[in-house]
Amino acid sequence: MGNASTGGRQRILSGMRPTGRLHLGNLVGALWNWRMLQDEYDCFFMIADYHALMSEYEAPADIAANTREVLIDFISCGLDPARSVIFRQSDVPEHAELHLILSCYTPISWLERNPTYKEQVQQLVTRDIHNYAFLGYPVLQTADIAIYKANLVPVGEDQLPHLELAREVVRRFNSLLGREALVEPQAKLTAAPRLLGIDRRKMSKSYGNQIDVADPPDAIRKKVMAMITDPLRIRLADPGHPEDCNVCQYYKVFDPAAHPDVADKCRNSKWGCTDCKRHLADVLVTFLAEPRAMRAELEAHPDRLRDILADGARRAQAAARQTLDEVRTLVGLGKM
Ligand code: ATP
Ligand code: MG
């Protein structure tokens, strides 16, 4: 069920907050999937800088620099500005206006009961997120999706409550105004693997346990050599447990053809963890060579980056303006 403006294809919106360079977890869990979606869907990929500000407001100076880093990572990992609309959220301030309008239709209790919010307020100790904006984080997400009338949103399990809230807000808006003005988005669940960081916790910027897509070869080698392997294998002669070893899991993801052999060498003590890691470092260095080259190319041509964002903003804004104008009329703003 697409529409005329998308050439019959369904529309997808997804985004990432510019809080740092992207790591292998982001690549495996999101970007690989996004890259594939471009073949089949009308895609909008957003760098969500308003959303970054909600938690980074005390020291927001890095948001602009991180936007550039994320843009470079997007393009060097295969997002294609010719096929997809790649844009910065704040370049389309229509998002902020729709956010305000939709906030009128969002009961506070819906936000307060949001499990992700409750969890983050408890767990995020490095930032004070007891601000008004952070409570409304999912309302801005709703506006991000609704303003493009996106039908599908690629999400992991952990984002489902946010999407459910977006659907409820859209339903409430449409039902109170007696018109199917906004599109109720569906989740497009992705069964992406969860990549662990070098310390075996979930790879995450906030844990500092990540390998970045843009890490130079020597940094990759250093981080891989620091990876925790099978905790039960102490001496070379001890048989390994590849299914419990994070390093072996990396082979599964980044060099699946080699994985059976690696698992055999580990299980039957044919090589030690150091050999295994040294080889994995080579695999990752090779694997990231192409994005690294592309990054160097883009860094040498900042005008290309500016053009991509300017073009993305123009295309996004054309779609967003249309929805916002309809909504404004519907809610009695700006017309007499
Ligand atoms: P933060 O620490 O600020 O939460 P993060 O490193 O966890 O940052 P997010 O911005 O939360 O990254 O995530 C962006 C996208 O990458 C999301 O779609 C998320 O599901 C995916 N992602 C993040 N970390 C991983 C991981 N370790 N494995 C798989 N996917 C991941
Ligand atoms: Mg996260």
Per-residue model confidence as pLDDT tens digits over 254-293: 999 999 999 999 999 999 999 999 999 999 999 999 999 9
Distance CA 258, CA 282 (A): 13
Radius of gyration of the chain (CA): 22
Q: Which segments of the chain are extended strands (E)?
A: 11-16, 42-47, 85-88, 152-155, 186-189
Per-residue model confidence as pLDDT tens digits over 184-202: 999 998 877 789 999 999 9
Nearest CA to 47 out of 28, 35, 63, 33 is that of: 63
Question: pLDDT-derived band of residue 122, with 50, 70 and 90 as boundaries?
Answer: confident
Contact present, 43 and 37 (Cβ < 8 Å): yes
H runs (alpha helix) in 235-335: 246-254, 259-267, 273-287, 289-299, 302-330
Distance CA 252, CA 272 (A): 18
CB atoms within 10 A of CB 24: 23
Nearest CA to 127 out of 55, 193, 190 is that of: 55
Q: Which residues pair with 44 in a beta bridge?
A: 13, 85
Phi, psi of 118 (to 5 degrees): -60, -40
Per-residue model confidence as pLDDT tens digits over 303-334: 999 999 999 999 999 999 999 999 999 999 98
Tell me the CA–centroid distance for residue 204 and ligand 2, in Å: 6
CB atoms within 10 A of CB 115: 11
Parse the chain into domains and list their residue ranges: 11-195+302-330, 217-290
Q: Is the domain 11-195+302-330 a CATH 3.30.930.10 member?
A: no
DSSP one-letter string for 54-65: HHHTTSTTHHHH
Q: Please name the amino acid found at residue 261.
A: D
Superfamily of domain 217-290: Tyrosyl-Transfer RNA Synthetase (1.10.240.10)
Tell me the CA–centroid distance for residue 224 and ligand 1, in Å: 19
Question: pLDDT-derived band of residue 5, with 50, 70 and 90 as boundaries?
Answer: low
Q: What is the pTM of this model?
A: 0.94
Q: Find the residues whose C-beta lies inside 6 A of ligand 1.
A: 16-17, 19, 25-26, 28-30, 156, 192, 194-195, 202-206
Distance CA 174, CA 230 (A): 54
Closest ligand to Cα 124: 1
User: Hey, which of 19, 32, 46, 204 would you mutate to test ligand 1's pocket, going by the most ligand atoms within 8 Å of its Cβ?
Assistant: 204
Question: How far, in Å, are 26, 116, 119, 281 from residue 204 at the CA level?
Answer: 9, 16, 16, 20
